[in-house]
């Protein structure tokens, strides 16, 4: 059957390796069939003296929705706590991601993102992609002002008043170097059309 073929393919792929790396093992919680298959895969690799590296957002004892036999096996090896990366490391992660994805993001924007998103690497990289994608789709340059606007929901600034449509319009006008009269006017120039689209999008998303 198709299920048997997939199971055999899974076993061939993951049981014939020298090192098995599994990130976010907590996502196996409440998935009985997957846990069953992983249990046997773990045993095959362990018996073959292969290396198994597993990460989770919690310790094995806290993974209450995993089977006891799996949690006990996770405690067989060395357990260590991975601390959040420091600022320098976070900037390096973003720099590498930007270079890999060929994202034209200046250093001050990388530092801004890295300074305000400290613990979650996925969120850190996601913020970078979000800013770059927004700029690309709207044919605008990436700078700190744009990053602050696009990431306002991820990086709230308690020192600033609540964001309003007027504040978005002012920030957008400043970013594109146009006046508020032009932004609210009827000109169909490319710059003003783009600025209006961005302002409308941000008003919908943030107010």
- Which domains, from first to last, does the chain contain? 2-74 (3.40.50.300)
The confidence score (pLDDT) of residue 160 equals: 52
Q: 50: exposed, middle or buried (C-beta count within 10 Å: 0-12, 13-18, 19+)?
A: middle
The pLDDT score that the predictor gives to residue 92 is 96
Q: HSE on the CB side for 86, CA within 13 Å?
A: 1
H/E element, 62: none
Largest CA distance in the chain: 73
Q: What DSSP assignment string belongs to 174-201? A: HHHT--HHHHTS----HHHHHHHHHHHH
Distance CA 170, CA 182 (A): 12
> Which conformational region is residue 117 in: left (phi greater than 0), alpha (psi within -120 to 50 degrees), or beta?
beta
Half-sphere exposure of 28 (CA within 13 A, CB side): 23
From first to last of the 207 residues of the chain, give the pLDDT tens digit.
446 678 788 888 889 999 999 999 999 999 998 899 999 999 999 999 999 999 998 899 999 999 999 999 999 988 988 888 899 999 999 999 999 999 999 999 999 999 999 878 889 999 999 999 988 887 888 999 889 888 888 886 644 556 788 888 888 888 888 898 888 888 888 888 888 888 888 888 777
**What pLDDT does 3 receive?**
63
């Amino acid at each position: 059957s198709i299920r048997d073929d997939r199971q055999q393919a899974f076993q061939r792929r993951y049981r014939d390796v020298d090192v098995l790396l599994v990130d976010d093992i907590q996502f196996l919680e409440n998935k009985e069939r997957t846990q069953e298959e992983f249990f046997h895969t773990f045993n095959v690799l362990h018996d073959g003296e292969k290396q198994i590296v597993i990460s989770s957002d919690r310790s094995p004892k806290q993974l209450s929705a995993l089977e006891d036999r799996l949690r006990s096996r996770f405690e067989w090896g060395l357990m260590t706590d991975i601390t959040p990366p420091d600022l320098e490391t976070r900037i390096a992660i973003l720099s590498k991601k930007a270079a890999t994805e060929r994202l034209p993001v200046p250093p001050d924007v990388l530092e801004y993102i890295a300074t305000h998103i400290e613990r979650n690497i996925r969120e850190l990289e996601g913020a970078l992609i979000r800013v770059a994608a927004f700029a690309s789709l709207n044919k605008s340059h990436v700078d700190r002002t744009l990053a602050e606007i696009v990431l306002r929901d991820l990086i709230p600034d308690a020192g600033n008043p609540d964001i309003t449509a007027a504040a978005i319009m002012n920030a957008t006008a400043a970013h594109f170097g146009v006046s508020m009269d032009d932004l609210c006017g009827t000109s169909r120039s490319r710059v003003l059309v783009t600025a209006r689209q961005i302002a409308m999008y941000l008003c919908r998303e943030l107010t």
